Amino acid sequence: MLLEENPQKAVKVNVLHADEPAVLMQERRRLAIRIAVVGSGYVGLVSGACFADLGHEVVLVDNDEKKLVSLRTGDIPIHEQFLPELLARHRDRRITFSADLQAATRASQAIFIAVGTPPTESGDADLSYVESVAREISGAVDGYKVVVEKSTVPVFTNEWIRTIILRNGADPELFDIASNPEFLREGTAVTDFLYPDRIVVGVQSERAAALMREVYAPMTSGWYYGRADAIPRPDRAHTPPRLIVTSAQSAEMIKHASNAFLAMKISFINAVASICESVGANVQQVCDGIGSDSRIGPRFLNPGIGYGGSCFPKDLLAFRAVAKEGGYDFRLLEEVIRINEEQRRRFLKKVRSVLWTLRGKRLAVLGLAFKGGTDDIRESPALLLVEELLREGCHICAYDPAAMDRAKEVLPDTVEFAADPYQAAQGADAVLILTEWEEFSSLDLDQLRAVVKYPIVLDGRNLYDPAVMTAHGFSYYSVGRPPALCDEAPAGRSGKKERA
């Protein structure tokens, strides 16, 4: 029986621990699904940890031995809230780690593919990792299994996975392919996974749909949300998610179309911000005005230096390529991409217009990750800006709460890294805020004012009220809002500073 159909029973069974009576332990095991997650990156590791928290038995597979060793010894290779707690709770109990995909496949009812799908030169998704996983799974299909695409893939990938598994000798009666796109966002990945707006499952058979319903039953039934030790719900209303069953093609389309729409919303508000700058309007007030319309909503209306990360840029390119292949020239997507790139160039122009020449200027950079709450620097607009500023001869001292180790691997040795925002700002000609870390929205502005050479802040994420910045003696330049100017004399000579 599905947990969804009998949440009461599920509660009784799942809250029991080591000393539970044998008969209930058996029942809990019966309801738990044996799951393999292939790829222990941002999506795979979070999904695996969350599946274990839902009560399933999970084996996380990766072909990166170093990553497996560190995961087994308790290291967490990525920065993500609640992930350390979940892995500590389930490591060596409901989660194990393995490099042996075939053994993991044999042991599992559902195999989730969560490997990378990076862009090729032409913008198509590189599906070679997905193909190699499908090939390997084939030889281990020894009983009914559902192979689930969790990676973001172009439409019809499900059919290719099926073809590859069949070509390599698996019995067609023993497996189905499902598409279960993941909508988590780095930085809030665990809560996004456990408290989603909806779960999308694309299937080719009712048998596969039934297994997928069982996987997500602890969430759709509401059982998980009643548990005392559940990961806390986010600060927004949440009801148990609806599981939307579609065809596999539709599910693949849903993921690409969702990401394209969200990127479009960001580019839209960035374009509006640019117009605000030229007409003297305040984009924050405009966002408030348009975001209060329930048909539009306030989320993803955050003007800034553009979107980045491992998803939006590559998914937009892949979606455009899918459309082209299908005979549709999706020029709207090209414009979304163009506005995004233009947004970085505009910010750079702003830095130049405030500081005049850039060669030899010392800049404090706050934020390197592509967004707050993560250590991921893939396609980070902050990093792309730093690289541009270095080319222009600036000296950069950077601070990021989580992404510095990764940034050190890709930035030249000339970049200095600081232990905190104030050290980064020591003697700076200007402070640049490039990532929306919460820590950066609550800086001690007096302390910051005391260490900079000139009290100039260029905020690419609109974290501050301009009036608050001028009250603390800063000239403040943000996105889509009029600049807020102050006496920019070095510390010690400014009227504001002396009063402080």
Ligand X SMILES: NC(=O)c1ccc[n+]([C@@H]2O[C@H](COP(=O)([O-])OP(=O)(O)OC[C@H]3O[C@@H](n4cnc5c(N)ncnc54)[C@H](O)[C@@H]3O)[C@@H](O)[C@H]2O)c1
Asked if 129 interacts with ligand X (CB under 6 A), we say: yes
Between CA 403 and CA 72 the distance in angstroms is 23
Q: Does 55 bind ligand X (CB under 6 A)?
A: no
Name which position in 6, 120, 132, 250 contacts ligand X (CB under 6 A). 132
- The binder of ligand X chosen from 4, 13, 14, 44 (CB under 6 A): 44
CA distance 320 to 260: 9
Tell me: does residue 119 bind ligand X (CB under 6 A).
Answer: no
Q: d(Cα 102, Cα 421) in Å, to the nearest integer?
A: 48
Closest approach of Cβ 61 to ligand X, in Å? 5
- Nearer Cβ to ligand X, position 44 or 372? 44
Q: Which stretch binds ligand X (CB under 6 A): 125-133, 137-145, 293-301, 432-440?
A: 125-133
**Residue 42 found at the interface with ligand X (CB under 6 A):** yes
Q: Is 41 in the site for ligand X (CB under 6 A)?
A: yes
Question: Residues 407 to 436: which contact ligand X by CB under 6 A?
Answer: none
b/e code 62-78 from CB counts within 10 Å (16+ = b): bbeeebbeebeeeeebb
* Shortest distance (Å) from residue 41 CB to ligand X: 2
388 binds ligand X (CB under 6 A): no
* Only segment of 26-34, 81-89, 128-136, 405-413 that touches ligand X (CB under 6 A): 128-136
DSSP codes of every residue in 187-222: TSHHHHHHS-SEEEEEESSHHHHHHHHHHHHHHHTS
Q: Toward ligand X, which CB reaches closer, 132 or 274?
A: 132
CA pseudo-torsion sign 232, 234, 236, 238: negative
**CB 44 to ligand X: min, Å:** 6
Q: Which is nearer to ligand X, 159 or 392 (CB)?
A: 159
Does 61 help bind ligand X (rule: CB under 6 A)? yes
Task: In angstroms, give the least distance from the CB of 66 to ligand X.
Answer: 9
Dist. CA 471–CA 489, nearest whole Å: 15
> Comparing C-alpha atoms, which of 446, 422, 431 is closest to residue 476?
431
User: Interface with ligand X includes 182 (CB under 6 A)?
Assistant: yes
- Between 195 and 399, name the residue whose CB sits nearer to ligand X: 195
Q: Out of 67, 91, 162, 346, point to the residue binding ligand X (CB under 6 A).
A: 67
**Rule CB under 6 A: is residue 192 a binding residue for ligand X?**
no
| Residue 379 within binding range of ligand X, rule CB under 6 A | no
Which CB sits closer to ligand X, 133 or 287?
Answer: 133
Distance, CA of 187 to CA of 38 (rounded, Å): 21
Binding test (CB under 6 A) with ligand X, winner from 311, 365, 366, 491:
311
Strand-pairing partners, residue 417, are 398
Which residue's entry shows tokens 């389309």?
253
Report, in Å, the least distance between residue 492 CB and ligand X.
46
Is 310 among the residues that bind ligand X (CB under 6 A)? yes
Closest distance between ligand X and the C-beta of residue 269, in Å?
21
* The binder of ligand X chosen from 35, 133, 301, 368 (CB under 6 A): 133
Residues 320 and 257: their CA atoms lie apart, in Å, by 10
Whole-Å CA distances, 497 to 449, 452, 458, 477, 488: 8, 11, 19, 19, 10
User: Which residues contact residue 475 at a Cβ distance below 8 angstroms, ignoring those fewer than 6 apart?
Assistant: 354, 455, 456, 457, 469, 483, 484, 485, 486, 488
Distance in Å, CB of 318 to ligand X, minimum: 9
Whole-angstrom distance, CA of residue 323 vs CA of residue 94:
41
5: how many CB neighbours lie within 10 A of its CB?
12
Give the shortest CB-356-to-ligand X separation in angstroms. 39
Q: Among 2, 6, 64, 249, which residue sits at the site for ligand X (rule: CB under 6 A)?
A: 64
Asked if 106 and 137 touch (Cβ cutoff 8 Å), the reply is: no
**Residue with smallest beta-carbon separation from ligand X:** 41
Binding mask 258-297 for ligand X (x = CB under 6 A): ----------------------------------------
115 binds ligand X (CB under 6 A): yes
Provide, rounded to whole angstroms, the least separation between the CB of residue 97 and ligand X. 11
* 394 counts as catalytic: no
CB 145 within 8 A of CB 109: yes
Instruction: Assess 39 for contact with ligand X (CB under 6 A).
Output: yes
Catalytic residue among 50, 287, 311, 486: 311
Helix (H, G, I), strand (E, B) or coil at 100: coil
Alpha-carbon distance 450 to 473, whole Å? 10
270: enclosing H helix or E strand: helix 248-279
| Residues 291, 303: Cα–Cα separation, whole Å | 13
What is the binding site for ligand X (CB under 6 A)? 38-44, 61-64, 67, 114-117, 129, 132-133, 151-152, 182, 184, 186, 310-311
Residues annotated as catalytic are: 311
